[in-house]
Structures are given as C-alpha cells and as structure tokens.
C-alpha cells in the first residue's frame, strides 16, 4: 500500500527530472505514479505540466481537468491552469489564475506573467500598473521590466516604454532585443528612409553590427521606404546572425516575392512555415506561391513535416486533408 511519503518522494523526483529537462523520463515517472496515486491533484497538475511542455496539449488538458475536479484551489492546479491558458493563448483566463497566485504568494515570475497576460488580453493600462507594483516589491527585476515595456508599448505610451527599456538595458546591457526595441521607439516618428540610414550608421559602432534585431529593424524601415533590394540584404544579414528565425525568414520571403524572386521566396517561406506553421500569413502566401508554380505536392510535403514537428497545431490536420484533395484533383485532370 503506497504511503504519503512515497507520494512526496515521487513528486520531488519528478520535479527534479523536469528541472533537468528530462521531459520523457519525467513523463514516464509521473504517469506511472498516477497508477498508485490517481487522486493526487498535485501529481496530476505536474503530469499536465510535463505533457504541455511536450506539446501534448490534449493529454495535458485531460490531466488538468482531472486535477481540477479533485482540488481546483490547490496551488499547483491553479498554477498549471494559468500556464496552460497562457500557452494556449487564453490570456484572460491566464490573468485570472496569475492574479490569484500573486495574491497568495507574490513572486517575480507571477508578476511578470500577470502583466504579460493582461497586455495580451488588451488591458495594457492595468498591466503597466501591475508591473509597476511588482517593481516596488522586486526592484529592477528584468522580467517585470520586460512586462512593463510590453504594456507601455501596447498602450501607446512611447516615452514611458522607452524609459523602461533604458532601465532594463542598464541592468542587462547585452539584451539585443531590448536595444532594438528602444531604437524602434526612438525612430518611430522619422521617415522610413531616414530611420534606416540612422540605424545603419548606429550599427557601424560599438559592435552593434552583430545585433540581428537591429538589422531586422533596419530592414523593416527600408522595406517601408520601398527599398526592397536593400531590405532583402539586411534580412539576409540578420539571418546570418540568427539562422532559422521564423519571423525574419517570413519577412525576407515576402520581400523576395515582391521582387519576383519566386524560387528564393518559396524557400524562405517554406523555412518560415516549418518554424512557425501557425502563422496564417506565411502559410497562405506559401500555398499561393506553390499553387501558382504547380507545386502543391511540395506544399503537402511541408505540411506533413510541420505536423511532425508541431503536433500541437491542430489546424494543420484540416489543411493536410484539403491539400490532399487538391493534389488528387490536379492528378485527375492531367
């Protein structure tokens, strides 16, 4: 007969595996343990967390639902419910959970998560207030500062957002993304061509030419100015520093498509799609391009690859079926 001490040891061992990122081992241990302790809300929530991190969202949801039925107020259950909602983009639900946890046991992580959830759910002003309250309790915390910058930016408070980025960079001067966002805010009102020139000049000093985010920002400004050739070169330079970045690949693909470089655009968009198959703009652009080039079998192959790498993107199943029908229709007409 299992004892409470066995459950404590099992939970501790599972958490250790989780912290060491041995997710498959943690999954096996947790699921095996649930045979002996099927009514442990904490273990169910822990198993749900593991499945979520393994991208097995249906299994995670099922385990979380079981945990909620047993003890919906258990801290581990509320915490996993909030994290699950955040990862599945139900930010209003995530904010409710994080708010409850902040009231119970405030931490840097919870303040930053609550502020980010509120920002993403459209409550930017409240998010900024929460982040500032978090900074009063945990001064100069970089994650809460990042949440504050996101809230102020989303709320259109440019000077406040810039001030927050400056404070963040004073703490973490090597944060390349934060530096790029600060430069984006500072050049927001300038003409795109002038902003791009200023950014390119800035990158010639202080080793900033190694910042892929700045190169991406310069490319964005050049693209807005209609300088597509120059924009493509900057996106390519950014990719040399940050290979496989799905966002940059997508922007490069869009520019290449406008330039009429369909072979290159197909390759860039295919790589962007495989990196982030849930982006509808990339997916529709890629499908349109390959359909025009009578290469739908290639798109179907990419969908299968994306499914293998991102099983959590359920919409891919419907896309696969639709494209399979289109390929068969094309074959019939030949």
pLDDT for 186 equals 80
Residue 306 lies in a domain: no
With a threshold of 0.85, does the pTM exceed it? no
Instruction: Dump pLDDT digits (tens) for 53-95.
Output: 999 999 999 999 999 999 999 999 999 999 999 999 999 999 9
With both helix axes pointing from N to C terminus, report the angle between 212-224 and 228-241 in degrees, rounded to the nearest 10. Answer: 170
Q: Quick one: tokens of 303? A: 């969908």
User: Which structural domain range is residue 14 located in?
Assistant: 1-85
Q: Structurally, how many domains does the chain consist of?
A: 1
Residue 52 lies in a domain: yes
Distances (CA, A) of 197 to 43, 187, 210, 232, 233: 56, 11, 17, 15, 14
Residue 54 lies in a domain: yes
Alpha-carbon span 179 to 165, nearest angstrom: 7
* CATH classification of the domain holding 49: 1.25.40.10
Residue 44 lies in a domain: yes
pLDDT for 156 equals 94
pLDDT for 176 equals 85
Residue 223 lies in a domain: no
Q: Where are the alpha helices (DSSP H) in 54-141?
A: 57-70, 75-87, 91-104, 108-120, 124-137
Contact between 310 and 278 (Cβ < 8 Å): yes
Residue 312 lies in a domain: no
pLDDT for 195 equals 74
pLDDT for 15 equals 92
**Phi first, then psi: what are they for 123, rounded to 5°?**
-105, 65
Residue 21 lies in a domain: yes
Nearest residue to 241 via CA among 272, 219, 216, 270: 216
Q: How many helices (H) and strands (E) does the chain have?
A: 19, 0
pLDDT for 296 equals 92
Q: Quick one: tokens of 231? A: 């924009």
134-143 contact pairs (CB < 8 A, 24+): 134/106, 134/108, 137/106, 137/111, 138/108, 138/111, 140/167, 140/171, 141/108, 141/111, 141/112, 142/168, 142/171, 142/172, 142/175, 143/108, 143/109, 143/112
> Which residues of the chain register pLDDT less than 50?
none
Residue 113 lies in a domain: no
């Amino acid at each position: 007969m299992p004892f409470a001490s066995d459950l404590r040891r099992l939970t501790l061992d599972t958490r250790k595996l989780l912290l060491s990122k041995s997710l498959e081992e943690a999954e096996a241990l947790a699921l095996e343990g649930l045979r002996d302790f099927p009514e442990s809300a904490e273990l169910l929530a822990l198993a749900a967390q593991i499945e979520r991190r393994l991208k097995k969202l249906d299994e995670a949801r099922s385990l979380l639902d079981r945990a909620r039925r047993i003890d919906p107020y258990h801290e581990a259950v509320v915490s996993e419910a909030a994290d699950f909602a955040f990862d599945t983009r139900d930010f209003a639900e995530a904010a409710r959970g994080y708010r409850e946890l902040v009231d119970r046991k405030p931490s840097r992580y919870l303040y930053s998560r609550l502020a980010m959830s509120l920002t993403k759910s459209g409550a930017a002003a409240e998010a900024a207030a929460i982040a500032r309250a978090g900074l009063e309790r945990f001064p100069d915390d970089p994650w809460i500062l990042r949440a504050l910058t996101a809230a102020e930016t989303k709320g259109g408070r440019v000077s406040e957002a810039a001030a927050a980025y400056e404070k963040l960079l004073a703490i973490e001067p090597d944060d390349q993304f934060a530096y790029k966002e600060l430069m984006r805010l500072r050049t927001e009102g300038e003409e795109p061509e002038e902003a791009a020139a200023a950014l390119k000049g800035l990158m010639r000093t202080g080793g900033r030419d190694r910042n892929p985010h700045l190169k991406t920002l310069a490319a964005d400004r050049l693209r807005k100015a209609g300088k597509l050739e120059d924009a493509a070169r900057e996106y390519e330079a950014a990719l040399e520093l940050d290979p496989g970045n799905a966002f940059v690949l997508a922007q490069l693909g869009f520019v290449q498509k406008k330039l009429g470089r369909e072979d290159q655009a197909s390759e860039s968009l295919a790589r962007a799609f495989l990196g982030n198959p849930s982006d509808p703009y990339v997916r529709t652009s890629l499908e349109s391009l390959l359909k025009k080039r009578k290469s739908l079998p290639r798109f179907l192959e990419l969908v299968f690859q994306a499914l293998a790498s991102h099983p959590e993107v359920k919409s891919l199943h419907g896309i696969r079926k639709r494209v399979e029908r289109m390929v068969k229709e094309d074959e019939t007409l030949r």
